[in-house]
Amino acid sequence: MRVFGTLRNLSLATGSAIATLTLIGITAGIAPAAEPRPESEVDYRSQIWPIIQEKCLECHQAKKRQGSLDMSTRALMLKGGDSGPAFVPGNVEKSLMLELIEFGEMPPRKSNRPAVTKEEFQKLSRWVAAGAPVTDEPGPPAPAPTPAPTP
Ligand code: HEC
């Protein structure tokens, strides 16, 4: 829960800058209709995965799982960490990872990871808003298939 304490302090300090960012992020991120519109969808494999891979996975995969969160697949992101799911499909405002990115908490400033850019943040927001569709998920390799029993 340390995340939330930090967030509160941070928002007191930089309230208006953040309000502006929120506006930009959210107005750009949400299509007015509730139905995902295919033409506005962000492709996971080419647009979302590279961001996660470069800026999050170092600390959020099977071997490390900071905050108990593994981000290597959509299902694991939904399973979430200590504070719940990393995002809520179709709900940008309830999506913890977007909140933490927006507040500059993730990736942590003291890490050597480059920050998520505004453009990347908007892609992530659009993807979540569209219900976080995933095709062709790279993720970790699937477990080896169980060998067929030999008669
Ligand atoms: C250098 C390591 C590092 C990187 C890179 C990193 N994180 Fe984190 N993340 C952490 C740590 C440490 C915590 C736990 C913070 C705490 O509990 O105070 C955390 C916690 C979180 C949580 C909350 C988990 C929970 O349920 O409590 C989310 C969501 C999250 N990170 C998302 C991201 C996203 C999205 C990225 C990439 C844009 C990212 N992180 C990159 C270290 C990292």
What DSSP assignment string belongs to 48-71?
IHHHHHHHTTTTSSTTT-GGG---
DSSP string, 6-22: HHHHHHHHTHHHHHHHH
pLDDT at 35: 52
Average pLDDT, the chain: 81
In this prediction, residues 52-75 reach a mean pLDDT of 96
Amino acid letter at 108? P
How confident is residue 15, by pLDDT bands cut at 50, 70 and 90?
Answer: very low
In this prediction, residues 86-90 reach a mean pLDDT of 98
Q: How far apart are CA 41 and CA 98, in angstroms?
A: 17
Q: Which of 60, 64, 113 to mutate to test the pocket of ligand 1 (most atoms within 8 A of CB)?
A: 60
Distance 53 CA to ligand 1 centre (A): 13
What lines the ligand 1 site, CB under 6 Å?
2-3, 55-56, 58-60, 66-67, 69, 80-84, 86, 96-97, 100-101, 106-108, 111, 113, 116
**For the whole model, what pTM was predicted?**
0.75
Q: How far apart are CA 70 and CA 103, in angstroms?
A: 20
Report which protein residue has its CA nearest ligand 1's atom 23. Answer: 67
Please say if the pLDDT value at position 151 is more than 50: yes
How confident is residue 150, by pLDDT bands cut at 50, 70 and 90?
Answer: confident
In this prediction, residues 39-64 reach a mean pLDDT of 91
Distance 33 CA to ligand 1 centre (A): 31
